[in-house]
Amino acid sequence: MRQFEYKRAEDARAAVAAHAGNDAAAYLAGGTTLIDLVKLDVMQPERLVDVNRLALDAIEPADNGGLRIGATVRNTALAHDKRVRRDYRVLSEALLQGASRQLRNRATTAGNVMQRVRCSYFRDGISPCNKREPGTGCSAIEGRNREVFAVLGTSEHCIAVHPSDMCVAMAAIGATVRVEDAEGSREIDFADFHKLPGDTPHIEHELAGDELITHVTLDAPVADAGSTYIKLRDRSSYQFALASCAAIVSLDGDRIREARIALGGVGTKPWRCLDAEQALVGQPAVDETFEAAAAAAMRDATPYKHNAFKIPLARKAIVCALRDAAARAGNGA
Ligand SMILES: Cc1cc2nc3c(=O)[nH]c(=O)nc-3n(C[C@H](O)[C@H](O)[C@H](O)COP(=O)(O)OP(=O)(O)OC[C@H]3O[C@@H](n4cnc5c(N)ncnc54)[C@H](O)[C@@H]3O)c2cc1C
């Protein structure tokens, strides 16, 4: 049995202080990723700093016209918040399609942003895996690489998908992550927070040292937009995405004024499709337009032995999501 120290912090400063000076310390939020991985011996923290009592559980209006979400806001609370359901329907839908009700009741906003990959070779604790043990190789590239393996943003060192649904919606909305350590605080653009694997797949995000996530601030909602989250998976609940799409669309008459597209289940990070979005502006909101955008979004995809089906599947998710979001924009929904 591995020993670890447990410390419960009462405020952010105390949490950072309790984390400091130990490279093997980890913040403990809902525990739904962390405790799993400790039990599997994939993560071996020497010290757990419990952040559940920090006063970071509020959802408040932000100065930018968006919403400021505390790090410990539970996924269920965020999904059902009235302002989120009204102005960020895509986020509410993404959250409610993630995991199970019990898990969502426990899982936090920061923990979700920081969740680890579901790659079976990473999680088995013994297979060669550059993410778990840098330099050992990637078992998935020549192995079984169907469900939780990417076709966008992969490298010869790692092809694991970023598994979060919530983060896909946040990528489409646009957001900023606020982090704090003993030196002060800083803000990280959500688009830059998660890193591509490149040749350092063990470095997954921008967080450094003892930094604690305190908030995620959503950009102001797109005016008069409709939005939706489409998640395609092997089973309709309690399952990670094979391909998913968060779409936000606003219209001028029957033409597209603004569009946002982000993908899940196919990228090594929450995958924003800026080129496809640009191509939609000014075009009629019809299936031919959505299909062209979907083709553009998946143009650079690289399939592996068992996941080539994800490319047409993701295209379908994009078309369906754009169609639904445009219909909702037209209805003022
Ligand atoms: C069976 C199962 C099915 C699931 N299905 C889905 C799914 O379909 N879709 C989906 O999106 N997710 C799914 N998940 C993942 C789930 O959403 C995450 O486990 C959860 O969001 C993690 O949040 P948490 O609060 O429990 O984090 P924890 O497990 O407590 O922590 C996760 C990581 O975040 C770090 N951390 C936590 N708080 C902070 C902070 N404030 N600052 C810095 N670092 C922090 C921890 O140190 C740890 O490394 C599933 C999980 C399980 C177990």
Output the 3-class SS for 34-67: HHHHHHCCCCCCCEEEECCCCCCCCEEECCCCCE
Q: Is residue 159 part of a domain?
A: no
Lowest mean pLDDT among 55-64, 164-173, 273-282, 324-333: 324-333
Q: Domain tally for the chain?
A: 1
Closest ligand 1 atom, residue 54 Cα: 41
d(CA 26, CA 36): 14
- Give pLDDT, residue 87: 97
Residue 190 has pLDDT above 90, yes or no: yes
Q: Is residue 108 part of a domain?
A: no
Residue 42 has pLDDT above 60, yes or no: yes
From the CB of 29, is ligand 1 less than 6 Å away?
Answer: yes
Query: How many CB atoms are closer than 10 A to CB 180?
Result: 19
- Under the banding of pLDDT at 50, 70 and 90, the label for residue 333 is low
Best residue among 56, 114, 116, 164 to mutate for probing ligand 1's pocket (most ligand atoms within 8 Å of CB) is 114
Pair 77, 59: CB distance under 8 Å: yes
CA 109 / ligand 1 centre spacing (Å): 8
E strand residue ranges, the chain: 5-8, 25-28, 47-50, 59-61, 67-70, 175-181, 184-189, 212-218, 226-232, 243-252, 255-264, 271-272
Averaged pLDDT, 74-94: 98
Q: Is residue 319 part of a domain?
A: yes
CA 293 / ligand 1 centre spacing (Å): 32
Q: Is residue 54 part of a domain?
A: no
From the CB of 244, is ligand 1 less than 6 Å away?
Answer: no
CA 123 / ligand 1 centre spacing (Å): 14
Q: Distance between the two ends of the chain, CA-based, in angstroms?
A: 53
CA 333 / ligand 1 centre spacing (Å): 30
Sheet bearing 175-181, strands edge to edge: 59-61, 67-70, 212-218, 175-181, 184-189
Pair 333, 224: CB distance under 8 Å: no
CA 332 / ligand 1 centre spacing (Å): 33
From the CB of 212, is ligand 1 less than 6 Å away?
Answer: yes
**What CATH number is associated with residue 307?**
3.30.390.50
- The helix/strand count (H/E) of the chain reads as 14, 12
- Under the banding of pLDDT at 50, 70 and 90, the label for residue 332 is low
Q: Is residue 258 part of a domain?
A: yes
- Give pLDDT, residue 218: 98
- Under the banding of pLDDT at 50, 70 and 90, the label for residue 173 is very high
Q: Is residue 180 part of a domain?
A: no
In the numeric block, the tokens 């008459």 are attached to 253
Range of the domain at 315: 226-328
From the CB of 114, is ligand 1 less than 6 Å away?
Answer: yes
Residue 304 has pLDDT above 80, yes or no: yes
Share of the chain above pLDDT 70, in %: 99
Q: Is residue 237 part of a domain?
A: yes
From the CB of 270, is ligand 1 less than 6 Å away?
Answer: no
Mean pLDDT rounded to a whole number for the chain:
97
- In this structure, the dihedral spanned by the alpha carbons of residues 68, 70, 76 and 82, taken in order and rounded to 10 degrees, is -30
Q: Is residue 311 part of a domain?
A: yes
Best residue among 4, 11, 27, 242 to mutate for probing ligand 1's pocket (most ligand atoms within 8 Å of CB) is 27
CA 166 / ligand 1 centre spacing (Å): 11
CA 223 / ligand 1 centre spacing (Å): 31
E strand residue ranges, 150-242: 175-181, 184-189, 212-218, 226-232
